[in-house]
């Protein structure tokens, strides 16, 4: 089996980029590039941001912000899950100790 990264061709705002990527990560990379392309095109088409460099930076900031929000939600969900599991565990122990 060949684990060597293979080049993947991505098109973002009309420009082609070739990125070396492990085979098992190619679908995720292609999907991410598509999301970036869609976001950058929306920004460009809105006319509020000019220039591909500024569009790319703003898209990166938006995606980084979304990622941070998801990470924060994940932390809170983990806390809630841990609290629920601790309560459930305490109930189970109580039932087992007091039949």
Superfamily of domain 6-97: Cell division protein ZapA protomer, N-terminal domain (3.30.160.880)
Report pLDDT digits (tens) over 29-38: 999 999 999 9
d(C-alpha 13, C-alpha 57), whole Å: 14
Report pLDDT digits (tens) over 4-15: 889 999 999 999
pTM of the model: 0.71
d(C-alpha 41, C-alpha 55), whole Å: 9
Domain definitions of the chain by residue range: 6-97
Measured CA distances, 40 to 31, 55, 80, 88, 93 (Å): 14, 6, 36, 46, 54
């Amino acid at each position: 089996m060949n684990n060597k990264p293979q080049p993947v061709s991505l098109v973002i705002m009309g420009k082609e980029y070739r990125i070396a990527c492990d085979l098992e990560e190619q679908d995720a990379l292609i999907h991410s590039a598509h999301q970036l392309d869609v976001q950058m095109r929306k920004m460009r088409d809105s006319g509020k941001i000019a220039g591909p460099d500024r569009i790319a930076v703003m898209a990166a900031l938006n995606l980084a912000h979304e990622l941070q929000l998801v990470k924060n939600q994940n932390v809170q969900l983990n806390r809630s899950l841990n609290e629920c599991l601790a309560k459930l565990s305490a109930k189970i122990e109580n039932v087992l100790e007091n039949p």
